[in-house]
A and B are shown apart, each in its own frame.
Chain A
């Protein structure tokens, strides 16, 4: 069962990649735009579709309009500190069923800015606010980008890997 699902997932991914290659070739991200650290595992290696961050809105609208991925299920962020980038992961579904389509995009840690999807998917508002609250990722065009979990007075972005470590167990360092 899971094999069928992963096959279906791979087929969906390849179809979407081919469609993007055909219609939005400038949006696909060339591999190796962020350097991998020496010796460590290459966390950027992936079989998922990786797109240019500034084109994410165009890609998402294309997926909805032309490929029928009308349900944006999830937006989340990963802090790849050693690679100097944030990775944003978007999951899209078709309402007719089938596995999720995963779209990834990478941002430099120094200036994590990319277009918001909230003007097109109002349901993205809270998830983008969460990524802003915990990772400090700025979604340009978001109508109401403020903290959602932490209080407004809070300083810093606690899910970043370089956020100050807390608690008794670090005291001996």
Chain B
């Protein structure tokens, strides 16, 4: 293939264009990835900056932020996904026409971020929808989001028309609707079963992303590892009581003066 590319670029310099249908088709799709106008938290501010003139997402053909999931190819999950928001996110994803892609932008959307041990934030949106590109950062710089888009474009370049899951007659996994979780007394449920219950070990994503459409449930991240977590609270408690005592003493002095 590399030699083909070399021949090709040689010919292109002389004004002769050869292409395979696959390459031509992927070129068309990669050059007009339309994201959905959809932001959840501070990452959305960086996403807006990416779209505006300074960073100019239009250079990569992705400047048309669509207000409707029906017209969007790409969902940028930009920000903290609370449990209350997940059903809506999954519904929006289900409404997007295939082929559809997801960028998980920032620490929160990828893993829960600083809210991972809280009661109201999901530990990664990839437990509910498949993610193609993860962007680290809190929030990621616009350059990082641009890099994520370019990564996605190179993934699109590698796709083969005959093998992708959204063409052909055979029913393939992940081309049907994804299950929308419902609210339960202790968290989000799918089919009456708690997804990623609180206090449990972190789960691996239920959906491997791009082409094969593999699905799995309830698999733990690195089950072979023995997990030992430090008691961060004990020191914290002692520190807090010490600082409280100091503050109270200071207040007494203030009153006396």
The answer, among A153, A154, A168, for a CB contact under 8 Å with B116, is: A168
Chain B 13-47 interface residues, beta-carbon cutoff 8 Å to A: none
Complex Cα distance A149/B183, Å?
13
Q: Would you call B227 an interface residue if the criterion is a C-beta within 8 Å of the partner chain's C-beta atoms?
A: yes
B119 touches A41 (CB 8 A): no
Interface string of A104-123 (1 = CB under 8 A from B): 00000000000000000000
Shortest CB-to-CB span from A47 to chain B, Å, is 7
The distance from the CB of B164 to the nearest CB of chain A, in whole angstroms, is: 36
B198 touches A47 (CB 8 A): no
Chain B nearest Cβ from A104, distance in angstroms: 15
**Is A2 on the interface with B (CB-CB < 8 A)?**
no
B184 beta carbon closer than 8 Å to chain A: yes
Interface: A165 (CB within 8 A): yes
Given contacts A164-B199, A166-B198, contact A171 B229 (CB under 8 A): yes
A173 vs chain B, min Cβ distance (A): 7
Measured as residues with beta carbon below 8 angstroms from the partner, the interface class of chain A is 20 to 34
A168 lies within 8 A of B227 (CB) = yes
Task: Give the interface SS of chain B, mostly helix, strand, loop or mixed.
Answer: loop
Q: How far is the CA of A155 from the CA of B70 in the complex (A)?
A: 36
- Could you tell me the distance between the alpha carbons of A165 and B199 in the complex, rounded to whole angstroms? 7
Q: Do the beta carbons of A41 and B227 come within 8 Å of each other?
A: no
Cα distance A158–B117 when bound, in Å?
Answer: 12
Q: Hey, which chain B residues are within 8 Å of A22, CB to CB?
A: none
CA distance A118 to B199 in the complex (A): 37
Interface string of A24-65 (1 = CB under 8 A from B): 000000000000000011110101000000000000000000
Decide: A166 and B119 in contact? CB cutoff 8 A.
Answer: yes
Chain B contacts with A in 177-203, Cβ cutoff 8 A = 183-186, 198-199, 201-202
Q: CB within 8 A of A168: which of B184, B229, B241?
A: B229
**A40-B241, A153-B185 given; A167·B227 CB < 8 A:** no
A152 to B198, CA, bound (A): 18
A150-B120, A163-B119, A166-B117 are known contacts. Are A171 and B199 too (CB-CB below 8 A)?
yes
- Asked whether any CB of chain A lies closer than 8 Å to the CB of B91, the reply is no
Interface residue B228 (Cβ < 8 Å from any Cβ of A): yes
Listed stretches B96-104, B131-139, B244-252; interface member: B244-252
Residues of A whose CB lies within 8 Å of any CB of B are: 40-43, 45, 47, 149-155, 158, 163-173
18 residue pairs from A and B, CB less than 8 Å apart: A41-B241, A41-B244, A45-B251, A47-B255, A152-B183, A153-B185, A154-B185, A158-B119, A166-B118, A167-B118, A168-B117, A168-B229, A169-B117, A169-B232, A171-B199, A172-B227, A172-B231, A173-B231
